Amino acid sequence: MSAAAPIYGLILAGGSSSRMQRDKAALEYLGKSQLDRAFELASRHVSEVFVSVRANQTADPTRAQRPMIVDSVAGEGPIVGIRSALAAFPHAAWLVLACDLPFLSDAALSQLLRERDASGLATAFRSTHDALPEPLCAIWEPAAGPALASYQDDGGRCPRKFLIRQRARLLEPLDRRALDNVNTPEEYAQALAAIDTGL
């Protein structure tokens, strides 16, 4: 039996943040940007962590201080960042995290890593809202690279739909709040208040 691929971390920070109306990666909680918080969290669990960016974001001060993987495949959305990471280091699996998960915890990442299925294409949590796969807090195995390329070539764009169709291990999250994300100014205000008060 071959050894499982090493796991690197990828923080997805290439989105346009259109609903937030400002850069989500730069939003701050307790004096740290969302990007820095996600990067530091991932760094406690894997040896190498990178930030996924578009080519026009490489000089952005929020991102430029971190190792980056620049989008290298055509298309848009998080599938491009995931594929670009798999292409940059094809021997590695990737702990992929959206940068807009302010409640993500060490406990959640420990569960994900502990229950990883390295023989499949991915290991992901089920959403606590709709029970569908959460592709942006997941481990993507090297074998997912060619499969994602074929999926995108056939017109696929949604990594969640890819995980629904493919063989992925789905986990019930023990930390039920960890995957709550922040997309709008109202959600940011609510998350900020919750974190500031420790609720």
Euclidean distance between CA atoms 94 and 189, whole angstroms:
31
What confidence tens digit (pLDDT) does each residue in 70-122 have?
Answer: 999 999 899 999 999 999 999 999 999 999 999 999 999 999 999 999 999 99
- Among 148, 170, 161, residue whose Cα is nearest residue 75: 148
Beta bridge partners, 139, equal 95, 123
What confidence tens digit (pLDDT) does each residue in 42-82 have?
Answer: 999 999 999 999 999 999 998 999 999 999 999 989 999 99
Mean of per-residue pLDDT scores for the chain:
92
Q: How many residues does the chain have?
A: 199
134-146 average pLDDT score? 97
- Dihedral in degrees, nearest 10, Cα atoms 120, 121, 125, 126: -90
Half-sphere exposure of 158 (CA within 13 A, CB side): 8
Q: Are strands 28-29 and 122-126 parallel, antiparallel or unpaired?
A: unpaired
> Which tokens hold the place of 153?
């070539």
Beta bridge partners, 28, equal 33
- pLDDT(165) > 70: yes
Work out the percent of the chain whose per-residue pLDDT is above 90.
72
